[in-house]
Structure formats: structure tokens, C-alpha cells
Structure 1
Amino acid sequence: MLGFLLTTLAVVYLFLFPPASNEKVQYPLPEHPIVFENAIYSSSAQASNAGLLVPLDFVKDALRLPMTYDTASDSILFTTRHHIYQFPVAKAQYIKDGQLVETPSTVVEKHGDSLFIRPSILPEEDIPFVFTSPENSDALFIYHVEGTVANVSVEEENVDQRRLRTGTSLQNPYVAEALPGERLFLINEGPSFSEVRMPSGISGYLSNDVLTTPETTTITSAYQQEERFTPGVASEEVINMTWEAVYSANPDTTTIPPMPGVNVVSPTWFALETEAGDLSSKASTSYMNWANDRGYEVWAVVTNDFDPDKTAAALQAYSTRTHMVDQLVAFAKEYQLDGINIDFENVNEEDGPLVTQFVRELTPRLHKEGFTVSMDITFISNSGNWSAFYERDKLTSVVDYMVVMAYDEHWGSSPEAGSVSSLPWVEGHLQRLLEVVPNERLILGIPFYARIWEEQTTANGNIEVSSSAHSMDGIEAWMEERGLTSTYDDQTGQDYAEYQEEGTHYKVWMENETSLQKRVDLMHAYELAGVASWTRSLGSDEIWQVLENALNEE
């Protein structure tokens, strides 16, 4: 009877107080683990005589630092808002803003097919991370500057209590043993067990009973958050920009009417001319004098000539991109511009990252000289060469302004007649774009043109559609000649007119005071940086005052 009682008590005791598990399981750990944001990266760091190296892919994908490999120069390029770095492979040196900097060891090494970067030599003032390896550890820990790290120590001699478990129970298998007094990193503090990490990178759970009170430290370094460049006009007023389309010759400025409220003019002066990166120029000193006399800032346009093959060739190498940048900086200084407006369109989708890299390399150079940088983009769509190539999230972190060309909803060769830019279409796409581009850096493009559509029914019953673009005055004259009166179209938010003549059905959605007011209302509603009109020569003489009044409305 006594034996039965003792056995029963033992069973109950083991049920209530089961022994700690002695099963050890393998913890998956690279040879040189990279620990970042409480997780271990899939790839390993690389050992070297002067410390651990990090894979370039990790720097780009996880740290999201704008680094890219340039094949022609066999170097890694790194850009910030104000600086351009070039890190050659297998050389104890790098170039910062064109100046050579000698280093105690190589900055970049190639191992196998992969490139690795030595974090200890990276310019600390421009890197928002701290890289550190604990003593006697093969792991590399990476922290955000101004982030925090919490440490705990083990206060326990019993080995069962010092074993890092796979779960929140002593009955779970263990992966490693912490030494008495060993300093660990606290990942998550739980009610009875906390998740901790050893200096080796191995993580698991320990009972709170054996851990000291967490000590929290703030991560600091020489890094300082770069302030955004502050453009001149933008710091005080709503941007009222108009493009000046210069096709063969600059306009006779004596014929340009007063444009009350306009504070930025953007002439299309520069274009990519050759695959070697040569730029053509139509810049005009007399136009600059006219703009200065009127108090306008001049943000000259540079285009890629809308040629995808030439663009791909010119942007492929750092040397040709630098050649383009050098020319633009020289032009901006020679003509005393206030800024550059980048208008790259019709680019192969796979070349989008090259456009981003060009903008990253151009912007610091222009900012250094005090020039504003803006970039024209389209609304987000699946159109590869006209929309999908823009890396909007990356570009908006570089330039001062993004200018959305909010028109060509129905383009010249559109298969159906419709508005150039209906208001519901604009607002819907604008809302989506604002998920990527901050409103205070977005300028809304507005059209000063409309299309007259012609629909003709063919013998087999199909409708053939064609169109022609006209200025505001051109549309008014066309309607007056035919005695037409417009009516308001609720679906587009525009005035609309149509008529039939000799079997042809004509339609036009007008750009005038009505549509302009609604576009500016959108700008106010979403608190955008301003508006940009395409193009100055297509606007009526009266529209400028209308635009100024609308922009000044509270």
C-alpha cells in the first residue's frame, strides 16, 4: 500500500513538475551570421583579415542603401542627398565627390561571384547604421542609429535553467547553453519566458527568473540625418509653373502676355543627343533675361529625347551618366538657372533602375550648386515604357519635387473619344499616387489643350476615331465658327460640345475656367505643392488671372 502511494505521488509530482528536457536540437546558423532587426539574414558575412564584410545584396535589399555596381568602372556607387561615393573593387581607396580618399584596407572585395563591402570603412556620417561584432563572436550585428538595444545577463548556476529553449517551457528542447553572467540581447520580453540572443547569433527562450533587469542603450554614431534641400520659390509660396515648349527656336518674349501668379517657367532646352551621353541645348540668354525681369525662376527641362534605345545606352555606364551630369551642371551655371526639370519618357521598363541611378547622381551635384531638382512622372499604370519604369518611391526620396503629368487619359491615337483629363480620372489616380509620393512634394500637371474628336462610321458599321489637339483659343474659335454652345458634363467635370456634319460626329471636352478651377480645387484639397501647366503657348491670355485667383483662394 505504501509503495503504491509513493508511486502515485511520484507520478503526480512528475506530472506537475516535469523535468527539464535534455534534448539538444541544431540551430540553423550561417558561418558568419548577420543579425539585423532581430532576425538573421539568409546569407553569411564574409571573413577577412580586417574584419567582417557584408554582401552588397544585403546592403541594397535589407538596409535599402542606394548602392549599385557599375560594371565598366568595376566599382560600387553610393549616393546620398548631398554626396556621391565610388568604391572600387579590391582597392584601398574610394572617391567622394570626385576627391580620392585613401583607406587602410580594401573597401570592396569579390568572393566567388558576390561582392562584399567592409562596413568599418564606410563613411559613418552618411550611413544610418552601426555595425558591430561582439567579442569572440563570428556574428555581425547591425543597428539603426538612434535605435535601442536591450541587454540582460544570466544569474543562474543550474545548467537546465541556462539552456536557451525552442519555446517557453523547460520541457522544450534547447539549442545552446548560456554561461553564468553571460550578457545576452533581449529580443522579446514575455510574462514568464523571454526571447534572447547570444553573441553568436543563436536565439531562444530563458525563464525571466534567471535574467537580470534589462538595460537599454541608445545606438549613436557620427551619422546625422541629412536635411532636405530647400528650393527658393517653394519655401514661401504655392508653385505655379508653366512649361515652355521649345521645338526649334525660343519664343519671341515680347509676344508673351502677362502671366500673373506664375513663379516658375520651364523651357524644354536640353535633350539627350547621342548614346555617348552628349546633350543638345537650346538655352537662350535673352529668355533668361526676360524671365529674371519678370521675377520667374527658370527650371530648364532635360529630356531623354523619348528614345528608349538611346536612353538605355547612355545610362548604362557611370562614365556616360557623369558626362551627362557634368553638362547639365555646366549649363545650369552658365545660364544661371534656378533648377532642372527632368522629363524622361518612353523608357524600357527594365531600364527604370538606370533612370533612378542617373537622378541619384545628378541631384547631389545640382544641390551642391543651389539648383532645384524636379522630375516629371505619369500616373501609376501598367504601361511599361510610359509608366511602369518609374521607381516613384525611390525617386521621390531624391528629388525636390515630382510633377505628375495628369493628362492624356485619352491620347491622340486613342481608340475611343474622350477627355484629355477628366476630373474623376485625375482624382482617382492622384489618390493612388499619394500613397507613394508625399503631397507636399507633388506638383499637379494641368493641360492647357483639348482634343477635337472625329467619329466616322465605316461601310461595315465600325466607328473610326481620330483627333487633333488644339489650344484654348483654338477650341473657342472652332466653336464660334460653328455656332456651338457647350454644356456641363457631370461625368468629366468639364464643359462639353458636340455636333454632326456630313456624316462625321465631332466631340470636344474643353479646358477652360470650369476645368481649371476644379483642378486647382484638387490641389488645395490634397494640399499639393502647386500646379504645372502644359504648355504656356496653349493657354489663353485670360487664363493666367483665372489660375492665380484659384490658387489664392483660401
Structure 2
Amino acid sequence: MKKRMALIVVSLIFLLMIIIYFFVKSQDEHAQGVFLDGHLIGEMDSIITINNHHYIAYDLLTENDLLDTYFDVNNSTLYLYQDYQKFTVVLDKKNGAVAQIDENDRIYISTNYLTGKLEDSYKLNSTGSSVFIEKNYSKLVNDKAIWLYDSPRSIFNRCAKIQANSVIIQYEIDGEWILGRVGNQVGYLKCLFLDTTETVKEKGVMESDKRKQAIMAWDFFTRQPTIFEQGPLYPALNVVSPTWHAIDKETRQYKDWSLMAYLKYYSNNNIEVWPAFSNSFDPVLTSEILNDAASRKNLIDQIIRLSKKNGYRGINIDFENIYLENKEIFAVFIRDLYLESRKENIIMSVDVTILSQSPTWSLFYDRKTIGRYSDYVVLMAYDERTRPEHGIGPIASLPWVETGIVGLMDFVPASKIVLGLPFYTRLWETIDANGNVSYDVTALKLPSADAFIAANEMGITYDEKAGQNYGEIQIDNIKYQIWIEDEVSLLNRLMLVHKYGLNGVAAWALDYSKPEMWQVINNNL
């Protein structure tokens, strides 16, 4: 009996020693490094300290979307973007107070520098050996002394006693526990005896103060106009975008096809003119210009100069067919152009395609950056199919369009998105020449499509899957198929505008349309 009691006592003493060991250990040790809203995102090698001054690893900040930046490797220069401003950091010994490079060529940015530039985006606290980055938090104060724990719901994981009236930073709340910081320690606290004094929320993407609902149409010019003939003024239309400016491949200057009579006509009728500036859809030319800092700046200067000279209220950036390797530098172009446009009070819209696996027609768009640095993002929701080898079918089926909207909203707020509408369709031909089958396709403006359907008395049915009317007819050895863009398909797309809270529509193109389509827009937007 005595042996059993002695064994029990020894076991209890041993258990007590283990508890005391971990209790003391938990008070002496706590995680150190870079924290984002209470969560460790970088170990101690993500921080270097010089003369009690902290520097954070640049790659850690960019990977966690804490810096909007571009690193020009050729010039060893960092460009930081914040609150419609651009800051330049040259990586040399003169700028040691701002940036450091270690023996492995890893770049570190001064917390003091970031605090001065990015204080409106998040708060930086350099406490002890750690750096705390805080975007979403509340400040609390405790009425009584409480404990800070390493993990919730365990009394054996105490790491510090918090005296009454301490400042506590709360990041998350889960029932009766919060994740918070006191000084340089992060842990869990019970909600008892805590009072909130201030709450801070992360800012969203940069919001523009210029966004009305845009009811827009591109006006397609294939050559420089010499005279202006007044066109119809459709109801609801409040923006026209004439395609006046493409890059001349020889001079690398923007062509200027503007007409003052055109500008005055629409301005006098309360319709804004936002001419389109394209890259001539030339990937080689675009790559050469974008990757040369002087040429890139010159292109931006040309856009601003032409816009000011001609009195444009806005501009439309229509850059397509760009190499995927130019994605980052194209994003730099968009940032810099928007900063200049904003200075001049010029509205800037940018066209993007529906997200796909095409490197040169979709993946090169940095949609998140474009969403931040623009007033409108126009989703070109058409050309689902362009050639027979893509498969015969609609050019903008309703499910495809809706998927495109949802995909873009992952990067761009709905309040900036304008839905592109096709005011054209394609007539598909399947030609059977004695068993040898070939295919052809013709793009048709809406009046031309209506004329073909009427002339051939084509039977029309509703394609539930595509969300639009469909026509088919056999004439001799040719089978004709057409998915019709009309009031039915248009109304279905306008319902998507309402469903997702988009900020308007943009028709391709103005002279492809018919009055009935504009009446539907006028009645439903």
C-alpha cells in the first residue's frame, strides 16, 4: 500500500514538473518574425536589423499582396504605387536607409519608409524582433488582469499575464476567444473584461469618383475621315468611342484621325467622347515599346497630349494580342497611364477579354492591376467562336458570358465593370461538295443578319442552352446556321448586368446596330 502511494506521489510530482516546465517555457518563448493580422507569414530571415532599424524582405511583401510595385531589374530600381502616386527607389548604397540587399541578393525594404508611404493601406509595428502588419483589427482595453495563451481553450498554454488597462490589438474572434497582440506577443485571450475602443478595416481597391453608368458604343473607323455625317442619337447612349488612334508602325507615333465636328456633335447632345487608343494589335511592336522605358513613357505622353489637345473627356485603352512575357510591363504601362490620366481629370477605361487559356489574347492581362488603375473595365464578352475550327456555335452564349463576368469579378469590383455587347453575329456555312465537307463563316451586322433571315424565310427557334434565337436552313448543298443577336439575347445579357450590379454596357459597334436594340437598353438600364 505504501509503495503504491509513493508511486502515485512520484507520478504526481513528475506530472507537476512537466506542467511547470511547459508553463515556464511558454512564457519565455513566443513566435518571432513578420506577422499579418496575427498570423506568421515570414520567419526571422524575413527581417534584417541595422542599428535597431528593421527591414522586411521585398519578396515576402509582394507575395502577400502588401506592395503594389514593379522591380526594374535592368536599372536596379523599385517603383512603388500608392494612393495615385509613384515612388522610385534606386537600389544603391546611397539609399541604404530605404533598402538593403543581402549576400544572396535578397532585397529588404525599410519599415520606416513603408510606414511613411503606406500608412493608409495598413499599419506597421516594429516591436522587439518582430514586425506586425495590421490591415483589419480592433483596439481593445481590458478592465482586469487577464492571461494571454498560446492556443485557445487550454489553461496549460499561458504565455503572459496582461495587466489591467493594457492596449490589445484584436484580429479575429471565435466564440469566447480572440486572436490578438499585446506588445510583441501574439496569442489568444478570453473575451471577458475587454472593451473595444477602435476598429480598422482594410481598404478595397482604389475607388474612382468619376463612375456614372456607362452606356457606350465603339465607333469603328477603318480609315481617316475627311467629312462628318451626323448619325442617329440613340436613346440611353451616353458615351461613344471612335477608333481614331492606332500606333503607326514606322514612326511609333499615334495616328490622329479626330474630327472636331464629330466631337462637337456628340458633346452638344450630352454624349461623351472617349476615343480608343490601340496597340495596333501588333505583339512585336508592343513588346519593343513597352520594354523600353523611354518609349513607354513617350507612348503615355502621346495619349495624354492628344487627349488634352482634342478635349477628350475620357479614353478607351484597347490593347490586344500581347505576348504573355509582357504581362508585368503592360501592367506598369496601365498604372503609369492611369496616374497621368487622373492628374488631367481624364476618365480611363480599359478593355479586357473573357479569361481563357490564350496567352496572347487573355492571360497577358493583369486584371487585378487593371481593376485598380482604371475608372472602367470593359469586358469584351464576344467572339466565343470566330472560326469553324473553334466549333460552330454562338459568338457569345449566355452561360459563357456569365462565366466571364464572374471570373472578372474575382479581380475587379462590379462597380467598375462594363459588359461588352455584340451588335453583330456570324453566319456559319457547312458545304457538302459530293461528300467533301468544308466550312465557311461570315460576320454580319445586325441589319444584314435580319435581311438574310427574312430573304431566305429561315425558321427560328429558341436555343435554351445559348440563351438566344437560332436559325437554320439548307440551300442546295450548303447548310446555313446562325445564332441571332436580337432583342431576346440582349435582354438576357441586360439581366446579367442587373444580377451582378455591373456599371453599364458597351456595344461593338455603333453602326452595326439597329434602333430596336437601343430601345431595349433604354427600357432596361
Answer yes or no: same fold by TM over 0.5.
yes
Instruction: Give the aligned partner of residue 293 of structure 1.
Output: 268
User: Partner of 1:100 in structure 2?
Assistant: none
Q: Which residue of 2 aligns with 1:54?
A: 56
Counterpart contact for 1:277–1:323, Cα < 8 Å: no
Counterpart residue type for residue 524 of structure 1: H
The 3 A distance-change label for structure 1 pair 480 and 8 is closer
2:511 matches 1:537? yes
Are 1:128 and 2:130 an aligned pair?
A: no
- Give the drift of 1:535: 0.8
Q: Would you tell me which structure has more helix in proportion to its own residues? A: 2
Percent identity among equivalent residues?
25
* Partner SS for 1:522: helix
Structure 2 CA distance for aligned equivalents of residues 260 and 499 of structure 1: 35
Partner of 1:468: 442
Taking the aligned partners of 2:222 and 2:177, their CA distance within structure 1 comes to 72
Aligned to 2:34: 34
Identify the residue that residue 20 of structure 1 maps to in structure 2. 19
2:208 alignment partner in structure 1: 229
Residue 457 (structure 1) shift: 2.8
1:518 aligns to what SS in structure 2? helix
In the aligned structure 2, how far is the partner of 1:298 from the partner of 1:257? Answer: 15
**How far apart are 1:262 and its partner, in Å?**
0.9
Give the aligned partner of residue 101 of structure 1: none
**1:464 Cα shift?**
1.9
Q: Contact 2:236/2:521 (CA < 8 Å) preserved in 1?
A: no
Is the contact between residue 270 and residue 280 of structure 1 (CA under 8 Å) also seen in structure 2?
yes
2:68 counterpart (45, 66, 69):
66
State the AA in 2 paired with 1:121. Y
CA separation in 1, counterparts of 2:299 and 2:148? 62
Task: Find 1:147's aligned residue among 137, 153, 163.
Answer: 137
Offset of residue 438 of structure 1:
2.6
Q: Deviations over 1:215-252 (max 9, x none)?
A: 8775889x998972222xx43xx421000112212385
Find the counterpart in structure 2 of residue 553 from structure 1: 524
In 1: Cα distance, 2:443 partner to 2:148 partner: 78
Cα 1:263–1:186 change in 2 (3 A) is closer
Q: Mark the runs of 5 or more structure 2 residues left unpaired by the alignment.
A: none
Q: Which range moved further: 35-44 or 529-538?
A: 35-44
Q: Deviations over 1:436-474 (max 9, x none)?
A: 433222111111111121111355x56322111121222
**1:227/1:440 CA distance change after superposition, 3 Å:** closer
| 8 A contact 2:463–2:470 mirrored in 1 | yes
The number of aligned residues is 516
Gapped regions of structure 1 (runs ≥ 5): 94-104
CA distance in 1, matches of 2:420, 2:205: 29
One-letter code aligned to 2:98 = V
Contact 2:38–2:180 (Cα < 8 Å) also in 1: no
Aligned residue identity for 2:46: S
User: For residues 499 and 180 of structure 2, what CA distance do their matches in structure 1 show?
Assistant: 49
What letter matches 2:327 in structure 1? G
**Residues 138 and 440 of structure 1: CA distance in aligned 2, closer, same or farther (over 3 Å):** closer
Given the superposition, is the C-alpha separation of residues 316 and 277 from structure 1 closer, same or farther in structure 2, using an over 3 Å criterion?
farther
Aligned counterpart for 1:361 among listed residues 336, 343, 347: 336
Q: Secondary structure at the match of 1:120?
A: helix
Measure, in 2, the Cα distance between the counterparts of 1:165 and 1:489: 57
Structure 1 residues 65 and 217, CA gap change in structure 2 (3 angstroms): farther
Within 2, Cα distance between the matches of 1:528 and 1:163? 46
Pick closer, same or farther for the CA change 1:317–1:91 going to 2, 3 Å: farther
For 1:196 and 1:364, the matched residues in 2 are separated by 38
Q: 1:78 to 1:13 in 2, by over 3 A?
A: closer
1:453 paired with 2:428, answer yes
State the distance in 2 between where 1:484 and 1:205 align: 71
Q: Distance in 1 between matches of 2:173 and 2:407?
A: 39
Change over 3 Å in CA distance of 1:246–1:108 after alignment to 2: farther
Query: Which of 474, 497, 520 is 1:500 aligned to?
Result: 474
1:219, 1:340 → 2: CA distance?
A: 39
Measured against aligned partners, the alpha-carbon deviations of 1:70-93 in whole angstroms (never above 9, x if no partner) come to 234432112235222222223767
Please report the TM-score for the alignment, with normalisation by the length of structure 2: 0.83
Aligned counterpart in structure 2 of residue 78 of structure 1, from 64, 80, 92: 80
Measured against aligned partners, the alpha-carbon deviations of 1:144-171 in whole angstroms (never above 9, x if no partner) come to: 3x73356889989xxxx9997999465x
Q: Describe the SS at the equivalent of 2:328.
A: helix
Q: Distance in 1 between matches of 2:12 and 2:491?
A: 82
Q: Give the structure 1 partner of residue 322 of structure 2.
A: 347
**Partner of residue 314, structure 1:** 289
* 2:19 aligned counterpart, secondary structure: coil
For 2:491, the equivalent position in structure 1 comes to 517
Contact 2:46 2:60 in 1 (8 A): no
Cα RMSD of the aligned pairs, angstroms, is 4.1
Indicate if the aligned counterparts of 1:78 and 1:86 stay in contact, CA closer than 8 A: yes
* Alpha-carbon spacing, 1:17–1:406, altered in 2? closer, same or farther (3 Å): same
Distance 1:191 1:17 in 2: 30
| AA partner of residue 7 (structure 1) | A
Q: Deviations over 1:273-295 (max 9, x none)?
A: 45996433333323212221222
Change (3 A) 1:163 1:521: closer
Written as runs of structure 1 = structure 2, the 5 A alignment for 1:144-293 is 144=135, 147-148=137-138, 168=154, 170=156, 218=198, 228-231=207-210, 234-235=211-212, 238-250=213-225, 252-273=227-248, 278-293=253-268
Equivalent residue letter for 2:137: G
How far did residue 533 of structure 1 move?
0.6
CA distance, structure 1, for counterparts of residue 281 and residue 309 of structure 2? 25
Cα distance in structure 1, aligned partners of 2:502 and 2:277: 24
1:54/1:415 Cα in 2 relative to 1: closer, same or farther (>3 Å)?
closer
Measure, in 1, the Cα distance between the counterparts of 2:395 and 2:176: 64
Q: Is the 8 A contact 1:373 1:400 kept in 2?
A: yes
Counterpart Cα distance in 2 of 1:48 and 1:90: 16
Offset, 1:51:
1.6
1:477 and 2:451 matched = yes
Q: 1:405 to 1:204 in 2, by over 3 A?
A: closer
TM-score (norm 1): 0.79
Cα distance change on mapping 1:49 and 1:90 into 2, 3 Å: farther
CA distance in 2 between partners of 1:62 and 1:456 (Å): 55
Could you tell me how far apart the structure 1 residues matched to 2:47 and 2:143 are?
A: 27
Q: Distance in 2 between matches of 1:190 and 1:431?
A: 31
SS in structure 2 of the partner of residue 241 of structure 1: strand
The one-character-per-residue Cα deviations of 1:320-340 (angstroms, maximum 9, x if unpaired) are: 332222211111111111111
8 Å contact kept, 1:90–1:107: no
